[in-house]
Amino acid sequence: MPYTAVKPSRARTSDELRATIPGWGADLDPAVRPSYPRERLEVPVTDTMPEQQQHEGYRERSIEHARLTPVFGTVAPLHGLSGWIRRLAYDRYSEGRALHWLLLVLGDRVDSAASGLRSFASLRPDNPITETGVLAELKRGGLRSRVGRGRIDLKHTWIDPILVAGPFVLGAVVLWRVTRPLRRRR
Amino acid sequence: MKAMVYRGPYKIRVEEKDRPAIEHPGDAIVRVTRAAICGSDLHLYHGMMPDTRVGTTFGHEFIGIVDEVGPAVEKLAVGDRVMVPFNIFCGTCFFCARGLYSNCHNVNPNATAVGGIYGYSHTTGGYDGGQAEYVRVPFADVGPSLIPDDISDDDALMMTDALATGYFGAQLGDIVEGDTVVVFGAGPVGLYAARSSWLMGAGRVIVVDYLDYRLQKAREFAFAETYNFGEVDDIVVVMKRATDHLGADVVIDAVGAEADGNLVQHITAAKFKLQGGSPVALNWAIDSVRKGGTVSVMGAYGPLFSAVKFGDAMNKGLTLRMNQAPAKRQWPRLFEHIRNGHLDPSAIITHRIPLAEIAEGYHMFSSKLDDCIKTVVVPDAA
């Protein structure tokens, strides 16, 4: 009982556990655990820096960094309105400011919306059926996986179609409105 | 090459992209033979991680064959079969030198609070991931390891993140002989954390989730007692009753940002992105652990604020331990556990899909269809 100094008794002794569970107690000694102690010198400490990855032009970085790190990713460089928003987040606000992250989230939404709209001017427009993977509902037992299984996530599953289809519907409405003058001219 | 490409929240597709190039003398290009979809990929897929850019390829769990090496690479050669840890790290900075590979300071210009991770937004450095035919691997002499001949591709793949993270989570619990360990979340990381807790001498291991098929796996794979929090009014009270009203010695949060079980928390965080993550499991962990106990956090959360019950953590004198796992640091010991039959990582794999079907794979995993626990993606070029 917790109201005395006695630790609750165990259902199985260590010997019983060792006999039934593969490897029970193999790492009982903290010294054999690979992340013990948490900080342990793995290599000699030197003052050498890795060679700097070459780059041209602007590469955004956190203002909490003193310099551009020696190595960095180069996928999807900043561009357009989303790039301007993201650059503002990086150049002006540290990671300690909520605005830094909220601007980055805003940049994500602008990026996604603009890319979706741009795709309709390309040979491969966004496809809500194939890109959302919704056909898995038919192939992977959408109904069978949900009904009668007591899943508590069903309480909010109704939101998902709105979140998924919403941007497509909104995009269609914007496209319809934007092209209205063109249709009237004809 | 063909690669999975992010198009916006809940939208991905396979596109033709340029094969990655050597951008630094220490780089290698790896031809991916297997990748996996991780629970934390869903945070990107759902648009929860700030600075996730359209055009990015996800995937931080992958293995493959070295296809090209930069001029400074000495330890790898073309044709080598390698496993690549999900962390990108230099091996020489202040943090790497001390074994904190996941906190490397030399690979992520976009943030100082997190190191580099493959295919995990610009918040972790802006690198493409391995759900593609080829991937750029920086610091190729430091991160990747040759896959030993007696380790299967599937086991090696699970070690690149999920197994290493689950095992690391159990270590952070500082488990001593006879401890009662509660694991929230019966996904891959939770299952591995539960199984690993026995290795460290746990006296009881309890797993909590709301999906019966995953709880069944927790009983079979991790030999755990299980509770379905969807079937009880208050899981914290149930945990207290299960531990003689003392609370568990160690609680591991293996859920993270999209935790369910509290409608307000889940909707504000996972649906409307107003928090860095839904801290339901974390709050349950704080409430379910005993005073003076340890909470180990393996679930991934976003960098925005979350409504965590910090006052109770302080009042109870808890030790809160957490980090992205330094995956490679775990590998030598994990190889031993696999060889000795203590761990069988690939037993949790439930699905294999070609890269071409990855959009449906994400939907299946996200919606928990077809009793999905772990999906392996096999690119055409594999």
CATH number of the domain to which B228 belongs: 3.40.50.720
Count Cα neighbours of B329 within 13 Å in the Cβ-side half-sphere: 31
Count of A-B CB contacts under 8 Å: 307
Q: Which residues contact A18 (CB under 8 A, 6 or more apart)?
A: A24, A25
Q: How far apart are CA A49 and CA A33, in angstroms?
A: 30
How far apart CA A144 and CA B382 sit, in angstroms, is 33
A31-54 pLDDT, tens digit per residue, is 999 999 999 998 889 999 999 999
B227 confidence band (pLDDT: 50, 70, 90) = very high
Percent of chain B residues past pLDDT 70, beyond the cut: 100
Q: Which is it for strands B375-378 and B28-37: parallel, antiparallel or unpaired?
A: antiparallel
Q: Tell me the pLDDT of chain B averaged across its residues.
A: 97
Domain count for chain B: 2
Question: Can you spell out the DSSP letters for B121-177?
Answer: -GGGT----SSBSEEEESSTTTS-EEPPTTS-HHHHHHHTTHHHHHHHHHHHTT--T
* Two structure tokens written together for B159: 């070690």
Is B195 found in the same domain as B146?
no
The gap between the terminal CA atoms of chain A, to the nearest Å, is 84
Q: How far is B251 from chain A (nearest CA, A)?
A: 17
d(CA B280, CA B257): 9
Q: What is the pLDDT of residues B320-378, one digit of tens each?
A: 999 999 999 999 999 999 999 999 999 999 999 999 999 999 999 999 999 999 999 99
Judge if B347 and B235 occupy the same domain.
Answer: no
What confidence score (pLDDT) does residue B15 get? 97
Least reliable range by pLDDT among A52-66, A80-94, B105-119, B269-283: B269-283
B129 and chain A in contact, CB less than 8 A: no
At A101-141, the pLDDT tens digits run 999 999 999 999 999 999 988 999 999 999 999 999 999 99
* Predicted pLDDT at B355: 98
Name the residue facing B98 among A2, A41, A109 (closest C-beta). A41
Do B71 and B31 belong together in one domain? yes
8 Å CB contact of B53 and A28: no
Contact yes or no for B11/A132 (Cβ under 8 A): yes
CB atoms within 10 A of CB A30: 14
Which pLDDT does position B232 carry in this prediction? 97
Asked if A93 has any chain B CB less than 8 Å from its own CB, the reply is no
Asked if A149 and B11 come within 8 Å (Cβ–Cβ), the reply is no
Q: Which domain holds residue B224?
A: 164-322
Mean pLDDT value of segment B298-317: 95
Q: Residues 34 to 53 of B: which have CB under 8 A from any A CB? A: 47, 50-53
B265 or A174, greater pLDDT: B265
Higher pLDDT, A117 or B76: B76
Q: Which residues of B264-275 are buried (b: 16+ CB within 10 A; e: fewer)?
A: ebbebbbbebeb
Q: Is B352 on the interface with A (CB under 8 A)?
A: no
Q: What is the CATH number of the domain that holds B342?
A: 3.90.180.10
Are B150 and B172 contained in the same domain? no
| AA letter at B135 | V
pTM attached to this predicted model:
0.96
Residue B241 pLDDT greater than 70, yes or no: yes
- Is B60's Cβ below 8 Å from some Cβ in A? no
Based on the domain organization, do B312 and B333 belong to the same domain?
no
Q: Supply φ then ψ for residue B35, to 5 degrees.
A: -135, 170
Sheet holding B289-297, edge to edge: B225-228, B204-209, B180-184, B248-253, B289-297, B319-322
In chain B, which residue's Cα lies nearest the Cα of A119? B7
Query: What pLDDT score was predicted for residue A1?
Result: 66
Of A35, A40, A140, nearest to B171 by CB-CB distance is A35
Best mutation target, B89, B367, B377, to test chain A (most A CBs within 10 A): B367
Q: What is the pLDDT of residue A173?
A: 86
Whether residue B199 sits in one domain with residue B218? yes
Q: Is B183 in the same domain as B301?
A: yes
CB within 8 A of B176, min separation 6: which ones? B201, B249
Q: What is the pLDDT of residue B283?
A: 97
pLDDT score for A11: 84
Between residues B267 and B185, which one has the greater pLDDT? B185
Specify burial of residue A4 (Cβ count, 10 A radius: 0-12, 13-18, 19+).
exposed
Instruction: Label residue B274 by pLDDT band (50, 70, 90).
Output: confident
- pLDDT of residue A7 exceeding 80, the answer is yes
Where residue B61 falls among pLDDT bands split at 50, 70, 90?
Answer: very high
Count helices and strands in chain B by DSSP H and E runs: 12, 17
**pLDDT the model gives residue A169:** 86
The minimal CB distance from B177 to the residues A28, A113, A115 is found for A28
- For residue B380, the SS3 value is coil
Please give the Cα distance from B35 to B52 (Å, whole number): 20
Return the pLDDT at B253: 98
Q: In the listed set B302, B322, B342, which residue is the last one of a domain according to the structure?
A: B322
Q: What does R_g of chain A's alpha carbons equal in angstroms?
A: 28
Structure tokens given for B150: 């007696």
Q: Are residues B109 and B241 in the same domain?
A: no
The H-assigned helical ranges of chain B are 41-45, 94-97, 153-159, 162-172, 188-199, 212-222, 235-242, 263-266, 280-288, 310-315, 327-339, 358-366
pLDDT at B132 over 80: yes
Q: What is the pLDDT of residues B196-217, one digit of tens each?
A: 999 999 999 999 999 999 999 9
CB contact B125 to A (< 8 Å): yes
Based on the domain organization, do B220 and B290 belong to the same domain?
yes
Last residue in a domain, options B303, B322, B341: B322
Query: Closest partner residue to A14 among B100, B178, B273, by Cβ?
Result: B178
State chain A's mean pLDDT as an integer.
Answer: 93
Residue B244 sits in the same domain as residue B300: yes
User: Residue B83: is its pLDDT beyond 90?
Assistant: yes
pLDDT digits (tens, 9 = 90+) for A49-78: 999 999 999 999 999 999 999 999 999 999
Residue of B nearest to A147 (CA): B369
Say whether both B331 and B272 belong to one domain: no
Q: Do B8 and A107 touch (CB under 8 A)?
A: no
B60 CA to chain A: closest CA distance, Å?
14
Asked if residue B382 has pLDDT above 80, the reply is no
Check whether residue B369 and residue B292 sit in a common domain: no
